[in-house]
Amino acid sequence: MQDETGTAAPVPTELKADCAQCFGLCCVALPFTASADFAIDKAAGSPCRNLRTDNRCGIHTELRQRGFNGCTVYDCFGAGQKVAQVTFGGVDWRSGSGERARLMFDVFPVVRQLHELLRYLTEALELPAAGPIHSELRRELDRAEALTREAPEELAGLDVSSVRQDVNVLLLRASELARAGLGRGRKKERRGADLMGARLKGADLRGANLRGAYLIAADLTGADLRSADLIGADLRDTDLTDADLTGALFLTQPQVNAAKGSSGTRLPASVTRPGHWTP
Ligand code: SF4
């Protein structure tokens, strides 16, 4: 439950990555392209060259220095251990047929999306202001949770985008209820806005709608982002130094990891301060 300052509760353990219970699925199932985020190309279903046979990353402590920033901002929301231990009963992709391994790699991104939705729905249920729609949120959460426990073949064929659409309608309503009374106006309605490199130092964005906004490399130092909705906002290299994100809605760890910040940045309890931020 949110406390009186609007700070969201910590994310439940089952919605946090537990790499010790996974088979390095994100390092095998997903593709990546050589770029500022990844030092190499890698095809989907092909193990990263840095993945060890014990499913640990061989360069974990030096990912940024070695050009693998993308790995430090990724979060499976606990989908890895669910697929490894529940969907596939604890049997590694290295065992059994190639067909079984391919199925595991197809299922992983589907369950990852479902777990992301579970993460948002769990937070929405913690919002006292969203009380009028708690029963609907609970119903969608139960539905998504049940889907994550389907058989591998069912999961591989799941139309997850339609689940997303249903959940998004509810999340938007929860957001509107939580932000009601915090001030509106053009400056605060920034859904999907292109704010790349924007100078928003010290801006009053309390309760702003920044859903899906492109805030790449924006200067938000000292900005007031309390109770702002940041679902899906692109915060790569966004400067959050000394910004106040207390009670920010639907802010995830990958977003925070991708941003810059400091010890003066105030964060909701649902995320932790990245180690690479300045003191
Ligand atoms: S560099 Fe490490 S964390 Fe990144 S994909 Fe490869 S094994 Fe995984």
Mutation to probe ligand 1, out of 33, 48, 75 (largest number of atoms < 8 A from CB): 48
Q: Of all protein residues, whose CA lies closest to atom 5 belonging to ligand 1? A: 27
CB of 50 within 6 A of ligand 1: the answer is yes
Number of H helices, E strands in the chain: 8, 0
* CA 170 – ligand 1 centroid, Å: 35
Amino acid letter, 58: G
pLDDT for 5 equals 43
Q: Are 42 and 48 in contact (CB under 8 A)?
A: yes
Q: Where in the chain is the domain with CATH 2.160.20.80?
A: 184-279
Backbone angles phi, psi at 82, to 5 degrees: -65, -50
pLDDT tens, N- to C-terminus, the chain (279 residues): 444 344 566 778 899 999 999 999 999 999 999 998 999 999 999 999 999 999 999 999 999 999 999 999 899 999 999 999 999 999 999 998 899 999 999 999 999 999 999 999 999 999 999 999 999 999 999 999 999 999 999 999 999 999 999 999 999 999 999 999 776 666 688 999 999 999 999 999 999 999 999 999 999 999 999 999 999 999 999 999 999 999 999 999 999 999 999 999 999 988 999 988 887
Residue 83 has a CB neighbour count (10 Å cut-off) of 28
pLDDT for 12 equals 85
pLDDT for 44 equals 95
* CA 27 – ligand 1 centroid, Å: 5
pLDDT for 184 equals 67
Residues in the chain: 279
Dig out the tokens for 78 from the structure. 């606990």
pLDDT for 1 equals 47
* CA 52 – ligand 1 centroid, Å: 9
Tell me the CA distances in angstroms from 33 to 38, 40, 257, 263, one per residue in order: 7, 6, 20, 33
pLDDT for 185 equals 65
Backbone angles phi, psi at 51, to 5 degrees: -80, 125
CB of 68 within 6 A of ligand 1: the answer is yes
pLDDT for 181 equals 76
Identify the CATH number of the domain defined by range 184-279.
2.160.20.80
